[in-house]
């Protein structure tokens, strides 16, 4: 069934409203002084997440490419990807029958890579958190 002109106008109005809500949300997040601390906490929750995030700096990569670049096991990279994706720091993009991962649009607003770069270059001395299973700590 073809869309009527009226329903197309409604869809366009809804898209415009959603775009405006996204812009307001980005502004609210960017203006929140706790945003950087929250992002840092998200990276600290999963060992290797800052490094994986920085591996996406030069563009989208598949999970296999990330496994190769980071020198970590596939299960570990999968857990890190899941953590970053569920935290809203990276996006999943289907491309030609497979999935690639890339920075979320929030990178432009918040400069998430500045936090990741700082954490990726620091040696980690912190013990594993309950969210990290033994495979994360011992396998890589």
| Confidence (pTM) | 0.67
CA torsion through residues 117, 137, 103, 100, sign: positive
Structural domain spans, the chain? 34-122
pLDDT for 3 equals 66
pLDDT for 128 equals 42
pLDDT, the chain, mean: 82
Q: pLDDT tens across 37-86, in order?
A: 888 999 999 999 999 999 999 999 999 999 999 999 999 999 999 999 99
Q: Distance (Å, rounded) from C-alpha 50 to C-alpha 44?
A: 8
Domain 34-122 maps to which CATH number in 3.30.420.40, 1.10.10.10, 1.20.1250.20, 3.40.50.1980? 1.10.10.10
Q: pLDDT tens across 33-49, in order?
A: 788 888 899 999 999 99
Give the number of other CB atoms < 10 A from CB of residue 101. 22
């Amino acid at each position: 069934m073809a869309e009527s002109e009226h329903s197309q106008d409604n869809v366009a109005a809804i898209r415009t409203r959603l775009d405006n809500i996204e812009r307001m949300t980005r502004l609210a997040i960017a203006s929140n002084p706790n945003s950087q601390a929250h992002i840092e906490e998200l990276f600290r929750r999963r060992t290797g997440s800052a490094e994986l995030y920085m591996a996406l700096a030069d563009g989208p990569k598949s999970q296999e490419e990330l496994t190769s670049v980071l020198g970590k096991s596939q299960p570990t990279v999968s857990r890190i990807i899941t953590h970053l994706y569920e935290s809203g720091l990276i996006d999943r993009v289907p491309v030609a029958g497979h999935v690639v991962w890339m920075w979320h649009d929030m990178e432009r607003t918040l400069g998430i890579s500045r936090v990741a770069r700082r954490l990726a270059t620091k040696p980690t001395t912190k013990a594993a958190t309950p969210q990290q299973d033994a495979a994360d700590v011992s396998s890589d």
